[in-house]
Structure 1
Amino acid sequence: MLLLKNPPFLFLCLAGATEATLIAGMSTFGPKFLESQFNLSASEAATWFGYMVVPAGGGGTFLGGYIVKRMNLRCRGIIRFCMVCAIVSLLAIFIFLIHCPNVPMAGVTAPYQYDLMEKYRDLYDEPSQLRLRNSSLEDTLTVGCNAGCGCVREVYNPVCGADGVMYYSPCHAGCSSVNHTDRLTGKQVYSGCSCVVGNVSRAEEGLALRGKCVSSCHHMPAFLSFLFIIISFTFLCSIPALTATLRWAPQ
């Protein structure tokens, strides 16, 4: 009961619990957010997120303890310091409002270009979009150019066509063989993809690269910079908050 009569101690514990919840959520969904917004692979998203978390978290934790010791802050000074760190993190969190357009995926978010060409329809033809919304995924993934391939929905292996459209798998792109391995990316290049409408003058028609298409969004450097700030200031007040909690606790 004595602890319940100690408001600073209670609020510090509540702030610590809230911060731990936010950190857990960020650790779980942060890489997935990077993956979906900037069209990265799961490994690339996890790697970039690790580059941000390890130095920012470790450096912030060490720097927070050093500041408290160096400036010889008392409890009230520590709480003010933690409030400043929390406000900075709160302001920087608006970076999550950044929105990047999704790369079109044939049969999922965009119609097959080959199928539309066969029917003399434009890529953004309204009836085609309506067909995508009202049909099942199995129906929209199977069109004339891959109907005879026997593709299964359970095998998700995205490829990026030379037309800038992402396909559910090489089979759904109508690819017949692996042409070669790209020297720059080290990814397999599929050829004979009957659903891919590429640039004929560049000999890109029917080619697809293994993996997701590269996003045209250029906000990733800014997002990672602000993410580094958020993580740094979040961990910057972790040791000071713990110090204040121990000092406010009754002996």
Structure 2
Amino acid sequence: MLQHKFLAAAIACLTSLPLSATEIPLYETGPAEDAAFIRFVNGTQASLNIAGGQAKNVIQLTSDKPVSDFVPVAANRPLKGVFEQDGTKAPSETVVKPGEFVTVVAVPDQTKGLALQTIRETPEEFNSLKASLALYNLSSQCGQATLKVSGKDVEIFSNVAADTASIRRMINPIKLDVQLLCNAKPVGKPVSLGQLSAGERYTLFVLPENSATGTRLYPSTDTISF
């Protein structure tokens, strides 16, 4: 029964998320009832290429557009790929369960050049009247990430540890500016999310950066590509 609830929620998300046909497919899709999805994030500041298992198709993620769309994939099957940047390669193998939305992130690594992190979400609810927000803290320089409404002492997410993701929050679809804090100190300028839309999902990525703070906040609207 719980599995059916997860699948129903994932299918509800599928019908509500914006659709796109711009992404190059890296993997074969699975049956619609599996509702398994994967996306990729470039957590570095240089262009990154990602190839599927047979390297037939390659997508490129830049620092200006570091987040791919979600793409539907066959559930419970190993999805092999290679992340490549300036001659450095990081192989990956990911299995996505039915009902999961999986994000694979490449971040800088002093030893290997690139390191991969995997974050998994299984939607349990869908509210067509609310906007869904999550915070992914992918910066080792931000030990505890907090997100506040800009100009107000109102916390949306509190103390999200590095290399983890928050629980999603349903909020009213309002126009929203936010301020990132790392270890209780403001980082960078406020970031505008614009007018949030009811029924849509948004992910805020805390990414490493070569700057004094070592961290930046990148907002993204979750989109499914076919």
The structure with the greater share of residues assigned to strand is 2
Higher-RCO chain (CA-CA 8 Å, sequence separation at least 6): 1
Bigger Rg over Cα: 1
Shared fold (TM-score, shorter chain, > 0.5): no
The structure with the greater share of residues assigned to helix is 1
TM, length-normalised to structure 2 = 0.23
TM, length-normalised to structure 1 = 0.22
